[in-house]
Amino acid sequence: MSAFKITENTWWVGALNPNLRVFDIVMSTDYGTTYNAYLIKGKDKTALIETVHDKYFDVYLDNIAEIADVSKIDYIILNHTEPDHSGSLYRLLEKNPNLTAVVSQAGAIYLKNITNRTDYNTMVVKDGDKLDLGGRELTFINAPFLHWPDSMFTYDPANKTIFTCDFFGAHYCEPYIMDTKIKFDTAYKRAFKGYYDAIFGPFPRYVAEGLKKTESLDLDYICVSHGPVITKDGVYKFVRDCYEQWCSPQQREKPTIPIFYTSAYGNTHALANEVMNGIKSRLPEYGVHTFDIIEHPMAELANAMAQSEAFLIGTPTINKDAPPPVWSLLGHVDAINMQKHPCAVFGSYGWSGEAIPAVTERLKTLKLAVFEENCKICFVPSENELKSAYEFGQRFADTLKK
């Protein structure tokens, strides 16, 4: 797709990737994505905002060439240095070694390890710093943990435009740049929610701060780095309202303790039920429920885990290990916000039961507070073993009593 004019002296020069189905190894992208980058011209200076994934560098370069001579561009502003935005910087520097990379302090450090170069010009900017392009003065706004420590926004008051990189973004691709052209509104909204959950869900406090920092700005355009450019006449109100709601503390009817398990022959399932009954006997005011891991979408399980007061994992042992669905769930533990979160592990096994210590170790590595006891039963639990699972649930519940 060609360069596209957004507003006065501001162009989209990014790339579309409609066929992408998995982003960053773990994130499904049913509607593809875009790598948005922008070019803005002042009377004296020209700046790019973000590069693109390096596979799309040639498209990016062609789009830039429609607007400006790449060798004469002065700045490359990187609001966030994850390689989908900075990954082709090294190639851009080959075309224009005089470029100055404008980044936050953290971004400057990451960039050196991403480019493996130190021989380029860097301008480190702090919150409130300004950059004059000639008749257009850009302001930088610190936005840490949205979603990396390096993140910042770039505000262009002359054009009522803010460049927020991932913030308000979505992995969504139609052959249009502006939100007013979205043809599949429901699909966009689904992608927008999925993106928030995966990228910003772990950082609600920082999302609230990001919203606060931008609420008083006079904005017609939010130039995100994935998905459609957001406009006042388009989804502006929708995206702000969604973020406001999603980052607010969730009101729960009662504290919850989900018990995630998987079970080939019903033995770990039987233990899960007894553990649940044991916990309920001690904490009747809690919502305690079992979830067969293979019967629920991973996002639902991850959300139940993140919202929980504590959780348990019941795992059989297959091939001296926990089966893949258990590891998949462990891959969704929010390691940033769940440190010291109470959890416990149990399961039935056939020969030696390696899954239980393996899962326990994994949870400890993530710095969760793992209950020191396990409930580990060989093959089919007897009446006595079911009773011991019940009591295991009780003892775990007792550690949660305030």
- Contacting positions for ligand FEO (CB under 6 A): 80, 82, 84-85, 147, 166, 225-226
* Least CB distance to ligand FEO at residue 19 (A): 17
- Which one, 29 or 159, has the nearer CB to ligand FEO? 29
* Least CB distance to ligand FEO at residue 329 (A): 23
Bridge partner residues of 102 (DSSP): 77, 123
- Which one, 103 or 283, has the nearer CB to ligand FEO? 103
- Which one, 140 or 200, has the nearer CB to ligand FEO? 200
Q: Report residue 15: phi and psi, to 5°.
A: -145, 150
b (16+ CB within 10 A) / e for 328-364: bbbebbbeeebeebbbbbbbbbeeebebbebbbebbe
CB 12 within 8 A of CB 38: yes
- Which one, 54 or 166, has the nearer CB to ligand FEO? 166
With CB atoms as reference, the residue minimizing the distance to ligand FEO is: 82
Cα separation of 291 and 260, whole Å?
Answer: 5
Bridge partner residues of 15 (DSSP): 35
The beta strand positions in 78-210, using DSSP E, are 100-103, 121-124, 130-132, 137-142, 152-156, 161-165
Pairing of strands 311-314, 256-261: parallel
Pairing of strands 4-7, 10-12: antiparallel
* Least CB distance to ligand FEO at residue 132 (A): 28
Cα separation of 206 and 145, whole Å?
Answer: 6
Cα separation of 277 and 273, whole Å?
Answer: 6
- Which one, 193 or 232, has the nearer CB to ligand FEO? 193
Closest alpha carbon to 293 in 265, 328, 320, 266: 328
* Least CB distance to ligand FEO at residue 3 (A): 20
Closest alpha carbon to 343 in 368, 307, 373: 368
* Least CB distance to ligand FEO at residue 205 (A): 18
- Which one, 149 or 157, has the nearer CB to ligand FEO? 149
Cα separation of 13 and 3, whole Å?
Answer: 5
- Which one, 226 or 376, has the nearer CB to ligand FEO? 226
* Least CB distance to ligand FEO at residue 300 (A): 24
* Least CB distance to ligand FEO at residue 141 (A): 17
* Least CB distance to ligand FEO at residue 78 (A): 11
- Which one, 198 or 305, has the nearer CB to ligand FEO? 198
